[in-house]
Amino acid sequence: MSSPVLECIPNISEGRDPAVVDRVVAAVAAVDGVTVLDHMSDTDHNRSVITFLGAPEAVLDGALALCRAAYEAIDMSRHSGAHPRFGAVDVLPLVPVRELSMDAAARYAHDLGRRIGELGVPVFFYEAAALSPERRDLAEVRRGQYEGLAERFAGGERPDAGPAQLNPRTGAIAVGARPPLIAFNVNLAGDDLVMAQRIADAVRSRTGGYECVKGMGVALPDKGQVQVSMNLTDFTRTPIHRVVETIRSEAARHGVPIVACELIGLAPLAAFEEVVRHYLQIPDFTSGQVIETHLL
């Protein structure tokens, strides 16, 4: 029988100092039974996404090692960046990959969250690990960002684990369990942030766009561009190419082209089957026609 595999995709609030990112990644890689698959940093967002997997208990140990390293190296009171955030380790989702149910992943998230709380960090559980309906949505959990945490705690709000007070250095953390998602960004020419925000409104589900799309418009001052930054939570219901073509059409109305697209972290191969079918017009294409698929 196959052994259980759990994936972890923490986002840390550091994307400008490679030495710090390398230190955090090395802390994870040093844990027996964990394989680091990928890490990617963005200077405008000032954020890095790290992907690793392994047996569940090893992954929890790796996640805790990552948190300790990040809390030593990152001071949230000095952090700035284009991406919403409220902690040095901002979000830490667990994704069941093999022989694990979502309920099991949520239980692992609760165990991990309690261990992080013992480090003196406020912990909020989200998505499938949420303990209340209003905390399922990450945007609501991160409401007010880092700067709003002290006011939230002063007003009587309590985290799900850890202290109900601001730790100025670490901020808070959102620990969750969820299915795989695709973090996908579309960069547009020019610096019209209002345009990017309107286009994000046009494609994201909660403002009338496509289902299973979360998005926002952000400025990329280092590139002199703006971005529609998205999470595609179910590519089978809203494929990548559909969102990209809508953004292209909306931007063209303003005379603005797409400069580039970005895939953040890893994504399922099946998501790109739809892209090939659409753009190369091969309606019956499958990943089974890719040589490397058979080597795996």
- Active site amino acids: 83
Angstrom distances, CA of residue 96 to CA of 56, 93, 186, 241: 9, 10, 28, 26
Tokens 């799900």 locate to 160
Residue 263 amino acid letter = L
Angstrom distances, CA of residue 261 to CA of 4, 17, 172, 270: 33, 23, 30, 18
Euclidean distance between CA atoms 154 and 166, whole angstroms = 9
Euclidean distance between CA atoms 110 and 129, whole angstroms = 7
Tokens 């002199």 locate to 224
> In the sheet where 225-232 sits, what is the strand order?
213-220, 225-232, 182-189, 258-264
- 8 A C-beta contact, residue 136 and residue 130: yes
